[in-house]
């Protein structure tokens, strides 16, 4: 009985060691880098965003992941005369216009290290016009660019950081059109365990397995 109790204690210590080595999970946060803050035109104005309305966020910023993450993109709609496009990892993913994408169509990417998210928009063409990393810092109505806003804890747009939000594109097709509803995409970010975390977990489980094997190999004494 004493031997069995000692074995359970050793297994418990091994499990605790694995948990301690893993450490706390990193928050799956993406950050808007650079740019300036501001709001889309007010509701009821001639240049109101027809997809998400007037919200607070970033103009001219880039989206940066703080570590290994999975990003899921979903098409949210568009109000545009041109046929605009959205790319993930260089692949054409969403399009506007007749026969284009439908609400909640999805695409995803996994980022192994901290860095920029890999998306781009095309202004009335099947190739990128502006990529994440080249979003103009001081956009004008005639230059393709995108706007970023995050969801807060109450699932309302207007936060400046978080794990989900929208990317709203302005294709620069009309000088006076600054409503950023030429293609709107939702993004959601979740954490991905780092390789070192997986390695420590496997090491801990291997240790537990070895202890169990040794316990089975030795005769029990009461």
**Helices of type H across 23-101:** none
222 residues of the chain, pLDDT tens digit each: 555 555 545 554 554 444 444 444 445 489 999 999 999 987 667 678 899 999 999 999 999 999 999 999 999 999 987 899 999 999 999 999 889 999 999 999 999 999 999 999 999 999 999 999 999 987 777 899 999 999 999 999 999 999 999 999 999 876 556 889 999 999 999 999 865 543 444 554 555 555 555 556 655 555
Residue 206 three-state SS: helix
Global pTM reads: 0.77
Residue 82, pLDDT score? 86
Cβ contacts of residue 114 below 8 Å, gap of 6+? 64, 65, 66, 67, 68
Cβ contacts of residue 158 below 8 Å, gap of 6+? 55, 56, 57, 149, 150, 152
Residue 127, pLDDT score? 95
94 contacts 85 by C-beta, under 8 angstroms:
yes
Residue 20, pLDDT score? 45
């Amino acid at each position: 009985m004493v031997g069995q109790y000692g074995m359970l204690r050793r297994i418990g210590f091994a499990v605790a060691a694995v948990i301690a080595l893993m450490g706390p999970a990193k928050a799956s946060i993406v950050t808007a880098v650079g740019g300036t803050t501001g709001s889309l035109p007010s509701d009821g104005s001639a240049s109101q965003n027809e997809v998400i309305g007037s919200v607070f966020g970033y103009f001219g910023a880039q989206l940066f992941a703080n570590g290994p993450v999975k990003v899921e993109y979903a098409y949210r709609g568009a109000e545009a005369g041109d046929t605009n496009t959205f790319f993930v990892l260089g692949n054409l993913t969403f399009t506007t216009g007749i026969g284009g994408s439908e609400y909640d169509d999805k695409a995803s990417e996994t980022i192994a290290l901290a860095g920029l998210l890999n998306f781009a928009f095309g202004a009335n063409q099947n190739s990128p016009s502006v990529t994440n990393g080249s979003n103009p810092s001081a956009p004008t109505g005639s230059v393709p660019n995108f706007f970023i806003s995050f969801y807060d804890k109450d699932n309302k747009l207007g936060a400046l950081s978080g794990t989900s939000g929208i990317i709203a594109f302005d294709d620069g097709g009309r000088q006076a059109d600054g409503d950023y509803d030429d293609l709107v995409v939702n993004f959601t970010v979740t954490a991905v365990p780092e390789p070192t975390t997986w390695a420590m977990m496997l090491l801990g489980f291997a240790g537990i397995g070895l202890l169990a094997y040794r316990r089975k190999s030795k005769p029990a004494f009461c």
